[in-house]
Amino acid sequence: MAAAVLLAGCSAEPPAPPPAPLAELSGIQATGGIGVTALLPTAGPTLFAADRGAAGTPPGYPGGDVQVDVVRVGKHVILTVHPRYARTPEPSELLEYTGPSSPPRSLGRAWSAGPDAAGEGVWLIRPDTPDDCRLQHVSLTAGELGSGQPASCRTQVRTETEHGLLITINSGTPESTDALIEPATGRTIRQAPRILGAAGDWLLLDGLTDLTLVDLRDNSSRKLSRPSIGPAPTVVPSREGTIWAVDFGNPAYRGTSTQTRDIWLLRPSGPTWDHAPGMPYVTEHLKRGGGFDWSEAGDLVLADGVLAAWHPGEPQWRLSQAALPKGDWSGFAVIP
C-alpha cells in the first residue's frame, strides 16, 4: 500500500505530481471467492452474490420505471422507491429489506431518510400535507417515536451521530447549506456550506482548496490538504466510523468525458491519508452501475463491473468473477 500522506503543515516537501490513472480496476482473482453478498438498488432489487452472480429478487418490491436508492442503517437496509419520471416530485416509499425470500416492511412515505446513531432506526422528513412536513424518528422495531418536529419539506436528512443529526437545508437549490443539529430542538450545532460526512466524533467539511476536519468533542478544527484534485469527494465511513473511504472521483478528467475513481482512506484520529491500491483508474461506473460500501468484516467493497473487496493493509483488491448487471442503478449495500 502507498505510504500515508502527510497532512498540511506536517511537511515542507512539495507534493508529488498526481499519478496518471490506470486503464481499469486492477487486483487479483480471488480463487476462493470474496464471500460478499450485496443488495443492488435495481427496479425490483437484486440480491447479488459476488462469487455466483444474481441470486434473485426478493418478493413484494415495486418494479417498473422507478428510481430505487439504498440507505444503510447499521446491519439493516432501507430502500427508497419513487417514480423515475413523475410530473411533480413525490415522496418516496420506504421499504425495509427483511430477507431474500420475504417481502419488505413498509415504513411509509418520506421526502428523505437517514440512519440514526444506534443503527436501529431512521430519521425521516415525513409529509403530512403537500406543504407541511415533520422531522420524525422511526424505530425499526417500535415504529414512530413521539410526534416529531415541524420541518421544511426541502430538508434532506443524511445521518446521525451521538453529537447530532446531519441535514442539508434547502436541498436541491442554489441556497442549500449543511448543518449538524440537535434533532429534539432543532438547535444548530455546526453549519457550513458543505459538510461531506459525519461519523463518530468527527465532521469533514469541504473547502475551495482544502478540507477541514472538526473534532466535535471540543469543536476544534484542523485543515487537511486534499490528496487528490477534483470535485467534492464522496465520503463513506466504515461501520464503526474509525476509517473513512473518500472517493475523489472525477466525471470529467482533465476536461474530457473520461471518468476516474480515486479512493483514499482517512483516519480522523491521526489524522492520516492512505491511498487505496490501484488508484486512480478509469471507470465507466462513476455515475451508474457502481458505488462502494463497507462489510461487517471491515472490508471496503467496490462495484465496478464486478464486486471487489479490499481490507486496509492488503496490497491489492480481491476481484470476484461474476459480472454485475447493467442498468441505471447506483450504490449498493453489503448484506448483512
**What average pLDDT score do residues 250-267 get?**
97
pLDDT of residue 8: 39
Q: How many CA atoms lie within 13 A of 73 on its CB side?
A: 29
**pLDDT tier for residue 6 given thresholds of 50, 70 and 90:** very low
List the beta bridge partners of residue 225.
210
| Residue 334: per-residue pLDDT | 98
State how far Cα 178 lies from the chain centre: 16
Q: Residue 2's pLDDT band (boundaries 50, 70, 90)?
A: very low
More confident residue, 8 or 300: 300
Confidence check: pLDDT of 38 > 70: yes
Q: HEC string of 148-199?
A: EEEECCCCEEEEEECCEEEEEECCCCCCCEEEEEECCCCEEEEEECCEEEEE
Give 31's pLDDT tier (boundaries 50, 70, 90): confident
Kindly report the backbone phi and psi dihedral angles of residue 3, in degrees, each rounded to the nearest multiple of 5, phi listed first. -65, 155
Give the model confidence (pLDDT) of 277-333 as tens digits.
999 999 999 999 999 999 999 999 999 999 999 999 999 999 999 999 999 999 999
Q: For residue 17, what pLDDT band results from cuts at 50, 70 and 90?
A: low
The yes-or-no verdict on residue 1 having pLDDT over 70 is no
> Could you tell me which residues come within 8 angstroms of residue 281 by beta carbon, excluding any fewer than 6 positions away?
21, 22, 23, 24, 25, 26, 260, 261
Burial of 146 (0-12, 13-18, 19+ CB in 10 A): exposed
Q: How far apart are CA 280 and CA 301, in angstroms?
A: 16
- At 3, the amino acid letter reads A
CB atoms near residue 144 (< 10 Å): 15
Q: Which CATH superfamily is domain 27-335 in?
A: YVTN repeat-like/Quinoprotein amine dehydrogenase (2.130.10.10)
Residue 167: CA count within 13 A, CB half-sphere:
26
Give the integer Cα–Cα distance in Å for 119 and 292: 19
For residues 2-17, one letter each, b for 16 or more C-beta atoms within 10 angstroms of the residue's C-beta and e for the rest, the string is eeebebeeeeeeeeee
pTM beyond 0.85: the answer is yes
Per DSSP bridges, beta strands 317-319 and 27-29 are parallel
**Greatest extent of the chain over all pairs of C-alpha atoms, in Å:** 59
The pLDDT of residue 84 is above 80: yes
Using DSSP's 3-state secondary structure scheme, residue 334 falls into strand
Confirm if 127 and 111 have CB atoms less than 8 A apart: yes
Domain spans of the chain, in order of start: 27-335
The reported pLDDT for the residue numbered 19 is: 82
**In the Cβ-directed half-sphere of 123, how many Cα atoms lie within 13 Å?**
23
When the pLDDT of each residue in the chain is averaged and rounded to a whole number, the result is: 94
Asked whether the predicted pLDDT for residue 103 surpasses 90, the reply is yes
Per-residue pLDDT averaged across 194-204, rounded? 98
pLDDT at 3 over 50: no
